[in-house]
Amino acid sequence: MNFDFDYCAPQTETELLDLLATTKDAVLLAGGTDLIVNMRSGLKKPTTVVNFKKIAQCHQLEFDAKKGLVIGAGVTVNNLLENKVVKEKFPVLAEACHLLASHQLRNRATVIGNIVNASPSGDLPPVFLCLDASIKLVSKKGERVVSLKDFFLGVKKTVITKDEWAKEVIVPAASADAKGDYKKLTRIKGHDLSLLGVAVVKGKGFLAVSVNAAAPTPVLVGRYAADVSMETVLSDILAKISPIDDIRCSKKYRLFMAQKYAKDIMKELAL
Amino acid sequence: MKKISIKVNGEMYVREVADSRILLHFLREDLGLTAAKEGCGAGECGACTIFLNGRVVNSCLVLAAEADGSEIVTLENESKDGSLSDLQKFFQKHQAVQCGYCTAGMIMSVKELLLRNAKPSVEQIKDQIEGNFCRCTGYSQIIDAVLDASGQLDK
């Protein structure tokens, strides 16, 4: 790398939170699959890089009928994908994980990183939005739990403050056993970002729809009663997304595919 | 600078590294293990694939400092006393190597798959190597080598 920084690897949460409270320009290192790319290209030049993965509890991945699914900040995408309970209770999540990048990257990339990165085209946010997930943020001042639908502020912008650590993702138990799909438009499997992605999830008494790569943030189109009509969903998609023309895809194609994927998944779910 | 101790191909190394040192560069330049290659430097091509604590990763996206205390395996571990491993021989037999740039990473990825799945399907092989670019073979020779290595190819 053509610049240097201080690398720290705190062993405890207290140490980590102290570091975040006192260091001016610290960035958190999770899987590094985005951060290190950005540092190597010179896009990011932090003075301090903080690896939190030595904190044992960050690797927690547990399901509890009360608390729901708790995914610690150190859990990788493949950890989630290979987890038996996730496959059984949250099959849509496993499916979305599988569509994310390549095998080696999934061995490093963390679930939380894919969310807090706040890329409009992140693969996991649509499914987590449909599952009504929240993020637990902790700092020296205390902790707060933010619903994912209030979490994203813009491209690469979230509600996280400088001194906060996104400690875990929580998926409520009420969303368990939901069925659905995440469809991702790409040119190449394994190396491509989503040009447009749609998740539709049907659970106990609800049907939720979310779209990525079609607005500055991932969009939760709506959480409806389970028998919502296709017309309502399709017109809400058009009303709530605001795709642009860019180097990857045209606005027109994105609008078309968002509706097509939603229609396809809803038809699959009706079977 | 950080002092790191890491086990590479069964051997312990203790070295000083700059905090920003990339693991791939450390392996190639400090330890002289040049099998893992730098292709894209951004986690896309997989030429730098190595085992880190039992899982394959892109070593271009890992800090050497972060690998402190970990166990690494590279392609250098495959051949023993100058003779190729079985997996390498199957790559040779099926001409799954042309320019060779992807091969070190490719074999690491395939090895991880075979360690957890003795008889992978073609789909599973494709899935495993989706992060390893090969611009020579068109992949079919590589897939054949893996099928043969797992005893699934009729002669």
| Tens of pLDDT, residues A130-173 | 999 999 999 999 999 999 999 999 999 999 999 999 999 999 99
- The predicted model gives A109-115 an average pLDDT of 98
What is the predicted pLDDT for the residue at A144?
98
Quick: pLDDT tens for B105-123. Answer: 999 999 999 999 999 999 9
Of A36, A53, A104, the CB nearest to B131: A104
Report CA-CA distances (Å) from A243 to A127, A209, A212, A250, A255.
19, 16, 9, 8, 7
Residue to test with chain A: of B26, B130, B146, most A Cβ within 10 A: B130
Specify the DSSP class assigned to residue B61: G
Report yes or no: B25 at the A interface, CB cutoff 8 Å.
Answer: no
Which two structure tokens, joined as six digits, stand for B68?
Answer: 């402190």
With CB atoms and an 8 Å threshold, state whether B43 touches A4. Answer: no
Nearest-CB residue to B109 (from A9, A33, A103)? A103
The answer to whether residue A118 scores a pLDDT higher than 80 is yes
pLDDT at B10 over 90: yes
Contacts of A105 in chain B (CB under 8 A): 43, 58, 61, 131
Query: Would an 8 Å CB–CB cutoff place A114 in contact with chain B?
Result: no
A54 to chain B: closest CA residue: B66
Q: Decide if pLDDT at A193 tops 90.
A: no
- How far apart are the C-alpha atoms of A220 and A209, rounded to whole Å? 6
What whole-number percentage of chain A has pLDDT above 70?
99
Pick from B66, B132, B133 the residue to mutate for testing the A interface (most A CBs within 10 Å): B66
Cβ distance A33 to B65 less than 8 Å, yes or no, reads no
Backbone angles phi, psi at A6, to 5 degrees: -90, 130
Question: What is the DSSP secondary structure assignment for residue B20, as one 8-state letter?
Answer: T
Instruction: Tell me phi and psi for residue A254, to 5 degrees.
Output: -65, -45
Task: Give CA–CA dist A35/A200, Å, rounded.
Answer: 30
Distances (CA, A) of B80 to A232, B75, B83, B100: 65, 11, 6, 19
The stretch B91-103 carries a mean pLDDT of: 97
Phi, psi (degrees; rounded to nearest 5) at A8: -125, 145
Predicted local confidence at residue A190, as pLDDT: 65
Give the pLDDT score at A1: 81
**Beta-bridge partner residues of A212:** A197
- Inter-chain CB proximity B65 and A102 less than 8 Å: no
Average pLDDT over residues A82-88: 97
Chain B partners within 8 Å of A29 (Cβ):
63, 66
Residue A251 three-state SS: helix
Chain A residue closest in CA terms to B1: A6
Please tell me the predicted confidence (pLDDT) of residue B81: 92
User: How far does A230 lie from chain B, in Å, by closest CA?
Assistant: 34
Two structure tokens written together for A193: 């970002």
Distance from CA of B155 to the nearest CA of A (A): 30
Using CB atoms, which residue from B2, B63, B130 is nearest to A190?
B130
Question: Closest Cα of chain A to B25: distance in Å?
Answer: 10
Which residues on A lie below 8 Å from B63 (Cβ)?
Answer: 7, 29, 32, 36, 49, 51
**Residue of A256, A161, A180, A271 whose CA lies nearest to A224:** A180
B24, pLDDT greater than 80: yes
pLDDT of residue A188: 78
Confidence of residue B155 (pLDDT cuts 50, 70, 90): low
Interface touch A5/B65, C-beta < 8 Å: no
| Average pLDDT over chain B, rounded to an integer | 97
Q: Which pLDDT band holds residue B22 (cuts at 50, 70, 90)?
A: very high
* Residue in B44, B68, B109 closest to A191 by CB: B44
**Cα separation, A6 vs A9, whole angstroms:** 10
Tell which B residues from 59 to 118 touch A, by Cβ distance under 8 Å: 60-63, 65-66, 68, 109
pLDDT at B154 over 90: no
- All residues of chain A having their beta carbon less than 8 Å from the beta carbon of residue B42 are 37, 40-41
